């Protein structure tokens, strides 16, 4: 199950979301060959045993591979623009970075002596997903379902997609052996929880439960409706509604010698 897009267009240009994607892609292109250098990782990645304060931010812009980068940026593109729309550009940027720091803390606290480097924007994006769950729980998200060689795109409510994702992170974090590398499941779970908590003030300012009741948990802006152009009688031809064609049948012409008063035979009218 892999989200590919949502049915929730934003009303303003997602400048910060695009800038974050561009920054992550640009930094990956520059640093892709440096992630095998221990000195580079010690300086810029987050290593719990060292916990240099600046690395709580710098590690958010490093990625371990192209699939790691593409997956994170896709999730940021799907869920980030709508939060930026509601929070404003500076508010969303602060929300994103703080979510990433909270996610890193959730990974560091259980094992502060770990020397395994941690990189990636997953924790910050998990925070974005948590905020999206609170603000747009019933928005539709198109999910790609893959079963061996068969695949299908299915629209699912955001609350179901995000709840399943969060449950997978929690279960995987509990089952993953401590002290090993791989996916930072606790960072994902911690960022997600932090995103929900930080979105509560905005949710309350919008009306809290009444905001859900008013908007139904879906985007509050109206859908785009295309209105039909008014018909111009001098240039347009009227089109009958769907159904069997209506055929004009001429009235029979009276036989010769049997004229009926006031009768005119049917003739088609020139346009």
Locus of tokens 């690395």: 55
Q: Identify the CATH number of the domain defined by range 2-215.
A: 1.20.1540.10
Name the residue among 182, 195, 55, 69 with its Cα closest to residue 123. Answer: 195
pLDDT at 30 over 50: yes
Asked whether the predicted pLDDT for residue 42 surpasses 70, the reply is: yes
pLDDT at 153: 87
SS3 of residue 142 by DSSP? strand
Residue tagged 């929070």 (tokens): 87
Helix runs in the chain, H state only: 15-31, 38-44, 55-58, 66-87, 89-108, 122-135, 158-175, 185-205, 209-215
Question: What tokens appear for 9 in the block?
Answer: 């267009």
Cα angle value 29/182/176 (rounded, 5°) = 160
Residue 223 is predicted with a pLDDT of 47
Instruction: Give Cα separations from 103 to 18, 123, 127, 189 (angstroms).
Output: 22, 5, 8, 7
Residues 194/100, Cβ–Cβ less than 8 Å: no
What pLDDT, on a 0 to 100 scale, did the predictor assign at position 225?
Answer: 39
Sign of torsion over alpha carbons 111, 113, 114, 119? positive
pLDDT of 106 above 50: yes
3-state DSSP call for residue 32? helix
**Which has more pLDDT, 230 or 212?**
212
244 pLDDT exceeds 80? no
Residue 140 is classified by DSSP as E
Q: Bridge-partner residues for 153, per DSSP?
A: 144
Q: Which DSSP letter does residue 254 get?
A: P
User: What pLDDT is stored for residue 116 in this prediction?
Assistant: 87
């Amino acid at each position: 199950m892999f989200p590919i897009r949502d049915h929730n267009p934003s009303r303003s240009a997602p400048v910060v979301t695009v800038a974050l994607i561009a920054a992550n892609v640009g930094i990956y292109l520059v640093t892709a060959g440096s992630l095998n250098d221990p000195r580079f990782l010690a300086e810029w990645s987050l290593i719990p045993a060292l916990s240099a304060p600046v690395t709580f931010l710098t590690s958010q812009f490093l990625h371990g591979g192209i699939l790691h980068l593409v997956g994170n940026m896709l999730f940021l593109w799907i869920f980030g623009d709508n939060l930026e729309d509601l929070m404003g550009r500076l508010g969303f940027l602060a929300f994103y970075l703080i979510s990433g720091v909270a996610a890193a803390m959730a990974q560091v606290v259980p094992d502060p002596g770990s020397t395994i480097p941690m990189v990636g924007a997953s924790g910050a994006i998990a925070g974005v997903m948590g905020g999206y769950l609170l603000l747009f729980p019933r928005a539709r998200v198109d999910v790609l379902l893959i079963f061996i060689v068969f695949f299908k795109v299915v629209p699912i409510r955001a609350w179901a997609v995000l709840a399943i994702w969060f449950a997978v992170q929690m279960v995987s974090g509990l089952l993953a052996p401590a002290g090993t590398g791989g996916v930072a499941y606790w960072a994902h779970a911690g960022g997600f929880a932090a995103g929900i908590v930080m979105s509560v003030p905005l949710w309350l300012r919008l009306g809290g439960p009444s905001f859900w009741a008013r908007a139904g948990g879906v985007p509050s802006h109206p859908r785009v409706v295309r209105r039909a152009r008014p018909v111009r009688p001098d240039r347009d031809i009227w089109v009958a509604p769907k159904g069997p064609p209506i055929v004009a049948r001429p009235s029979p012409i009276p036989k010769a010698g049997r004229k009926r008063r006031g009768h005119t035979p049917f003739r088609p009218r020139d346009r």
